[in-house]
């Protein structure tokens, strides 16, 4: 029992480190807790304390995950989490060496993000605008148009858009401040004129009606139908409904607009470093995936138009 308690304590100490100094998002901490919990269960079944795990045992763990039918991407993620965990334990002096440092991670399949064409984004915005301009347009219609504009024109994550406060906006100069996004990196992102206009209209004509439905005032820009701060789930529902109307029932989600934002910038000639800053990526490698997307599009155009393709 003492070993179990110690092992669980090591995991909790690492998760506290992720929540504190690393400022990981709650979703990341939940995912790490699940992955490390699975690994801890494997170690318990072997009767091995976490501080005695060696490289061969970790290879057996990956083989066990494959036997259980996990996808390569899932196995790769869990192996990466275990590697970071032992790297932390090594820094803390709980283990002398990191047994996972030389662990070979299974290669994941290359999956390019799906993006919308500019004309498709236009159809989504058109559908939101058409609903907003109806004589009996509800407050949600003004909000939904502003939300789509922010997600696409600023390339925000759904969580970042939901966390925006009115004070984060400088509509006169066309800027929005994104505080403590993923990884804790604050940034300032420009807003196009249509986005500024849509937000101003929402604040004037839509948000007051939503705010009146809740006795407790909130500073968040986007409110749900109950007048409370919008959640990422609320945002997904809004974008999904708009996609069903504008894209003939095809699925659409907030991050798809972010993917499209980055891809369209690169297609228009933006440099990779600028797009990295706009997206708030700490590593330019996360941004480079969009260069592959634009290359795929160029190939499609080439194959469709070149006489000898």
Residues designated catalytic: 157, 182, 255, 258, 281, 290
CB 128 within 8 A of CB 242: yes
> How many Cβ atoms are within 10 Å of 13's Cβ, its own excluded?
13
Q: CA-CA distance, 151 to 124, in Å (whole number)?
A: 12
207: left (phi over 0), alpha (psi -120 to 50) or beta: alpha
Whether the Cβ atoms of residue 58 and residue 100 lie closer than 8 Å to each other: yes
Q: How many Å apart are CA 78 and CA 32, to the nearest integer?
A: 8
The angle that helices 284-305 and 272-279 make with each other, rounded to 10 degrees, is: 120
Complete DSSP assignment for 174-187: TEEEE-S-GGG--E
Q: What is the DSSP string of 236-305?
A: HHHHHHHHHHHTTT----HHHHHHHHHHHHHHTT--HHHHHHHHT-SSHHHHHHHHHHHHHHHHHHHHHH
Give residues with Cβ within 8 angstroms of 217, minimum separation 6.
211
Distance CA 43, CA 56 (A): 13
Question: What letter would DSSP give residue 135?
Answer: T
CA-to-CA distance for 294 and 92, rounded, in angstroms?
43
Burial label for 191, CB within 10 Å (0-12, 13-18, 19+), is: buried
Beta strands in the chain (DSSP E): 169-170, 175-178, 187-190
């Amino acid at each position: 029992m003492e070993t179990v308690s110690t092992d669980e304590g090591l995991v909790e100490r690492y998760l506290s480190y992720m929540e504190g100094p690393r400022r990981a998002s709650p979703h990341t901490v939940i995912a790490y807790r699940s992955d490390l919990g699975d690994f801890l269960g494997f170690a318990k079944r072997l009767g091995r304390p976490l501080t005695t795990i060696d490289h061969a045992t970790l290879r057996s763990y990956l083989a066990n995950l494959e036997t259980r039918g996990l996808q390569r991407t899932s196995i790769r993620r869990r192996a990466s989490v275990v590697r970071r965990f032992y790297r932390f334990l090594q820094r803390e002096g709980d283990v002398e060496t990191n047994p996972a440092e030389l662990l070979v991670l299974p290669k994941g399949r290359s999956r390019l993000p799906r993006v919308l064409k500019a004309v498709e984004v236009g159809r989504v915005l058109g559908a939101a605008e058409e609903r907003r301009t109806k004589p009996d347009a509800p407050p949600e219609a003004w909000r939904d148009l502003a939300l789509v504009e922010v997600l696409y024109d600023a390339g925000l994550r759904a969580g970042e858009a939901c966390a925006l406060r009115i004070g984060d906006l400088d509509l006169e100069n066309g800027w929005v401040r994104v505080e403590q996004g993923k990884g804790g990196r604050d940034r300032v992102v420009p807003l196009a004129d249509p986005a500024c206009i849509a937000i101003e209209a929402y604040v004037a004509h839509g948000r007051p009606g939503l705010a009146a439905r809740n006795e407790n005032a909130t500073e968040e820009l986007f409110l749900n139908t109950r007048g409370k701060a919008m959640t990422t789930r609320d945002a997904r529902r809004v974008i999904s409904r708009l996609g069903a109307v504008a894209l003939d029932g095809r699925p659409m989600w907030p991050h798809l607009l972010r993917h499209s934002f980055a891809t369209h910038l690169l297609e228009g000639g933006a440099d990779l470093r600028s797009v990295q800053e706009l997206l708030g990526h700490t590593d330019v490698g996360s941004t480079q995936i969009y260069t592959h997307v634009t290359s795929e599009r160029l190939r499609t155009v080439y194959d469709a138009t070149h006489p000898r393709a």
